[in-house]
Amino acid sequence: MINQMRADLYRQFHTVGFYILLVFTIAFSLFLTLTQQVGGIMVTDDNKAKQLDTLSHSPWSVLSGLKAVTMSTSILPYAFIALFIIVIGYEFSQQTYKNTLLSGISRLQFIGAKYCVLLIDLLALTLVYYATSLLSSLSAGREAGESWDNLIADTIIMTLAIAFFMSVIFSIGIIMLVSTGSSIVSVVLIVIWPVAISMLTVYAHWSWLKYIDFVTVGLNVAFSIIPIKQLWPYIGVSALTLAVTIIGSSIIIQRKEL
Amino acid sequence: MEQAVLDIRDVSKQFGTFKALRHFNLNIRRGDIYGLIGENGAGKTTLMKLITGLSPMQKGTITLLGERVGSHQQALRRIGAIIESPVAFEKLSVEQNLKLSAIQHGLSGSSYIDQAIDFVGLNEKRKTQAKHLSLGQRQRLGLALSILHHPDFLILDEPINGLDPSGMMEFRNLLKRLNEELETTILISSHILTELYQVSTRFGIIHRGTMVKELTKNELDTANKAGYVVTVDNTPLATQIMDQAGVGPFEVTNKHSILIRNESLDPSQINSLLIQGGVLVSDFRQQEGSLERYYLNLIEGQNSKETIND
């Protein structure tokens, strides 16, 4: 599995698309931080409306820059779909997975490796996204707005929360890809999932949907709207979703005519 | 005792109502270049996918390098394969594709890559992206990818499809070198018998999912011998007469045809014998040696058997 992950990372570093995505991530974070823009694709609730209002009516510090880019992370899954295509979508469209599976790797290791590489990529790019905001705020001469220890701790928590919960949506994309063999269907699902679940939560008032509204959960954790004590059910549902999608994908691929 | 690299026993595979493989048996020994011959749709690719685990098993057992297929994937580490068509990452160069595969196999150092590129003769193209390679070069890249880790057993599904005559010859020579220099056992499929004849040491003829005939190169040479084809109305009676007269060797190739593998016989004498014995001889002609004809006769015979059984 480690060899497969190394191979995927090697291929990724030799793919132009990955560098375009890296440039986009840096440029997007720079743009938001330096022009003091806030926004994203989401269904806004009271908590987030309050955050938006505070950010737009107060002078920006490094901390408010981090909060602003966090508010805009709802855009990131749409951009990071490119990662999904690079890491696993391309393998299925070109059928190169046959070479991979013939190398003696088990189906579970294959899917596990793909998910781990996606998670590593998401963590790395989200970290780049926050680091760019932090450094560009500093270069613009803004005040920290909080102690440096807290700023660094916030950045780490935000990165982990945003990247992890985003990876859960991507894992649903993986099982869809393995089931249908279609990159388009899985990409459409990744695009629709956050908005559809957010809208259903607001309009249908099904409270349980909040556990699978992964983008919003990530945002709420990043903003400490969900306290640590209340976080475990969300992490539990996400972990269960990951287990179902990864094990389910490996069972499907095992039973499929490749 | 020669060790079996591949042992297939009573394997059946069905897609809906279509029976792709029926009670299929095959045994490949270490050092063989086994040519699997069959028309399109005969079941060759299905068989290869079952061996490599790309298709789930339904009935029967396959033992690959001493390990039962379906339970573990360890044996796959010791094989190389091109199934259907060689696949590579289009935007990566020849060298990068091989590097990627080397990482997957846990191989370190560039010696494996250099050896594979040298072996298939792609040195001049090592920096070329896979998408810019010709069909023959892609086949060679596919072969390089499958032999990179020095496999014990190589599985090649119709690797000469689409190659021009010089490409076929090059590929054939590569396979012979692999077998002789690296002692790689090879299973190669094709619907072109004459091409496999030049490279294989053993042959299996597959038709409609069943193994029709297995033979060595010597046996194929014998089977391929020129002779006389006699078309008669009553095959059992004709064979009885020829047996009594000591004519032979001969083989009933289909419901009305007998191939006499003896070019030195007197055709008029046999003709008279048969007519006197009450057999109506409608055709008596000399047959040139032809592998394709042998193959077609065999398939025709098989079709007749199936028609009778139906």
Query: What tens digit of pLDDT does each residue of B263-275 get?
Result: 667 888 888 889 9
Q: Is the pLDDT score of B213 beyond 50?
A: yes
- Chain A positions touching B76 (Cβ under 8 A) are 101-104
CA distance A19 to chain B (A): 15
Count Cβ atoms below 10 Å from residue B279 Cβ, excluding itself. 21
CA distance A98 to chain B (A): 8
Q: What is the dihedral of CA B280, B286, B288, B292, to 10 degrees?
A: -10
Answer whether B88 touches A (CB < 8 Å).
Answer: yes
CA distance A45 to chain B (A): 45
Q: What pLDDT shows up at residue B308?
A: 61
Nearest to A112 by CA among A256, A246, A253: A246
Sole residue written with tokens 């560039």: B110
Nearest CA in chain A to B151: A103
Q: Which two tokens stand for residue B84?
A: 């259907």
For B156, residues 6+ apart whose C-beta sits below 8 A from its C-beta are B81, B82, B143, B146, B175, B186, B187, B188, B189
Name B210's bridge partners.
B207
Q: What pLDDT shows up at residue A19?
A: 95
Three-state secondary-structure class, residue B230: strand
pLDDT single digits (tens) B41-55: 889 999 999 999 889
Q: Give the pLDDT band of residue A170 (cuts 50, 70, 90).
A: very high
pLDDT single digits (tens) A119-147: 999 999 999 999 999 999 888 888 877 88
CA-CA distance, B31 to B17, in Å (whole number)? Answer: 37
Q: What pLDDT shows up at residue B288?
A: 65
Average pLDDT of the residues in B203-217: 88
Domains and CATH numbers, chain B: 4-216 (3.40.50.300), 225-289 (3.30.70.100)
Name B21's bridge partners.
B13
End-to-end CA distance of chain B: 41
- CB-nearest to B99 from A10, A102, A254 is A10
- Chain B positions touching A92 (Cβ under 8 A) are none
Least confident of A33-42, A144-153, A176-185, B17-26: A33-42
- Chain B positions touching A16 (Cβ under 8 A) are 91
Average pLDDT of the residues in A166-187: 92
State whether A254 and B56 contact (CB < 8 Å): yes
Q: Give the pLDDT band of residue A45 (cuts 50, 70, 90).
A: low
What DSSP string runs through B4-58? Answer: EEEEEEEEEEEETTEEEEEEEEEEEETT-EEEEE--TTSSHHHHHHHHTTSS---
Q: What pLDDT shows up at residue B307?
A: 66
Answer whether A96 touches B (CB < 8 Å).
Answer: yes
Average pLDDT of the residues in A204-230: 80
At position A179, the amino acid (one-letter code) is S
Three-state secondary-structure class, residue A103: coil
CA-CA distance, B137 to A241, in Å (whole number)? Answer: 44
Q: Give the pLDDT band of residue B1 (cuts 50, 70, 90).
A: very low
Q: Give the pLDDT band of residue A200 (cuts 50, 70, 90).
A: confident
Average pLDDT of the residues in B8-37: 92
Q: Which two tokens stand for residue B233?
A: 């109305």
Q: Give the pLDDT band of residue A81 (cuts 50, 70, 90).
A: very high
Looking at every residue in chain A, the average pLDDT score rounds to 86
Three-state secondary-structure class, residue B251: strand
CA distance A99 to chain B (A): 7
Answer whether B305 touches A (CB < 8 Å).
Answer: no
Burial category of A228 from C-beta neighbours within 10 Å (exposed 0-12, middle 13-18, buried 19 and up): exposed
- A33 sits in the region (left: phi over 0; alpha: psi -120 to 50; else beta) called alpha
Q: Give the pLDDT band of residue A48 (cuts 50, 70, 90).
A: low
CA-CA distance, A226 to A238, in Å (whole number)? Answer: 15
Q: Is the pLDDT score of B166 beyond 80?
A: no
DSSP state of B109: S
Q: Which two tokens stand for residue A235?
A: 């992490």
Domain count, chain A: 1
Nearest CA in chain A to B49: A258
Q: What pLDDT shows up at residue B289?
A: 63
Query: What long-range pairs does A21-28 form, CB within 8 A, spacing at least 24?
Result: A21/A79, A21/A80, A21/A82, A21/A83, A21/A125, A22/A125, A22/A128, A24/A79, A25/A76, A25/A79, A25/A125, A25/A128, A25/A129, A25/A132, A26/A128, A26/A129, A26/A132, A28/A72, A28/A75, A28/A79, A28/A129
Answer whether B56 touches A (CB < 8 Å).
Answer: yes
The pTM assigned to this predicted structure is 0.80
- Chain B positions touching A17 (Cβ under 8 A) are none
Q: What pLDDT shows up at residue A154?
A: 85
Which secondary structure element, helix H or strand E, spans residue B206, and what is its range? strand B202-207
Q: Are A72 and A38 in contact (CB under 8 A)?
A: yes
Top-confidence range, A24-28, A40-44, A56-60: A24-28
Q: What pLDDT shows up at residue A44?
A: 61
pLDDT single digits (tens) B256-310: 888 887 766 788 888 888 999 999 998 888 776 667 777 777 787 777 776 666 5
Answer whether A19 touches B (CB < 8 Å).
Answer: no
State whether A104 and B74 contact (CB < 8 Å): yes
How many contiguous H segments (helices) and E segments (strands) does chain B have?
A: 10, 14
- Chain B positions touching A112 (Cβ under 8 A) are none
- CB-nearest to A7 from B15, B77, B103 is B103
Average pLDDT of the residues in B148-152: 90
DSSP E strands, A5-134:
none
Q: With DSSP H G I counted as helix, E B as strand and the rest as coil, what are the percentages for chain A, rounded to 5?
A: 80, 0, 20
Q: Give the pLDDT band of residue A23 (cuts 50, 70, 90).
A: very high
- Chain B positions touching A258 (Cβ under 8 A) are 49, 54-55
CA-CA distance, A105 to A112, in Å (whole number)? Answer: 11
% residues pLDDT > 70 (chain B): 93
Selected residue of A102, A106, A253 to mutate for chain B interface (largest B Cβ count, 10 A): A102
State whether B90 and A94 contact (CB < 8 Å): yes
Q: Are B202 and B216 in contact (CB under 8 A)?
A: yes
Average pLDDT of the residues in B2-12: 87
Least confident of A32-41, A96-105, B120-129: A32-41
At position B42, the amino acid (one-letter code) is A
Q: What pLDDT shows up at residue A52?
A: 65
Count Cβ atoms below 10 Å from residue A164 Cβ, excluding itself. 21
Answer whether B145 touches A (CB < 8 Å).
Answer: yes
Looking at every residue in chain B, the average pLDDT score rounds to 85
Q: How far is CA B1 from the centre of its chain?
A: 24
Answer whether A27 touches B (CB < 8 Å).
Answer: no
Range of the structural domain that residue A170 is part of: 2-255
CA-CA distance, A68 to A30, in Å (whole number)? Answer: 11
CA distance A17 to chain B (A): 11
Which secondary structure element, helix H or strand E, spans residue B203, and what is its range? strand B202-207
Is the ipTM above a cut-off of 0.90?
no
Q: What pLDDT shows up at residue A40?
A: 65
Sole residue written with tokens 């938001």: A32
CA-CA distance, B130 to B158, in Å (whole number)? Answer: 20
pLDDT single digits (tens) B223-247: 666 678 899 999 999 999 988 888 8
- Chain A positions touching B82 (Cβ under 8 A) are none
% residues pLDDT > 70 (chain A): 93
State whether B79 and A101 contact (CB < 8 Å): no
